[in-house]
Amino acid sequence: MSSLSAASVETPAVTAGAAEQKPLKPCCACPETKKVRDACIIEKGEENCRDLIEAHKECMRALGFKI
């Protein structure tokens, strides 16, 4: 039960702290598009996943990354 409470309390603190103190790391940005992109590249090869690669790049750019 205490682990649930700690997780609930910790999540807002991490979000607030990340916004104020530490910038978002590229490895942690856009996990949804990253996961789909990586799975496609593994299964079909990079040349067949251009649309997913571009979607991930757009997401990263929207968060302020220069890609």
Q: Tell whether 28 is in a known binding site.
A: yes
Query: Could you tell me if residue 42 is inside a domain?
Result: yes
What pLDDT tens digit does each residue of the chain (67 aa) get?
Answer: 444 444 434 444 444 444 466 889 999 999 999 999 999 999 999 999 999 999 999 999 999 999 8
Query: Could you tell me if residue 10 is inside a domain?
Result: no
* pTM of the entire predicted model: 0.66
Q: Tell whether 27 is in a known binding site.
A: yes
Residue 22 is predicted with a pLDDT of 83
Which region, left, alpha or beta, applies to residue 35 given φ > 0 means left and ψ of -120 to 50 means alpha?
alpha
Query: Could you tell me if residue 40 is inside a domain?
Result: yes
Residue 23 is predicted with a pLDDT of 87
User: How many angstroms separate the CA atoms of 47 and 60, rounded?
Assistant: 20
Enclosing domain of residue 39 = 31-63
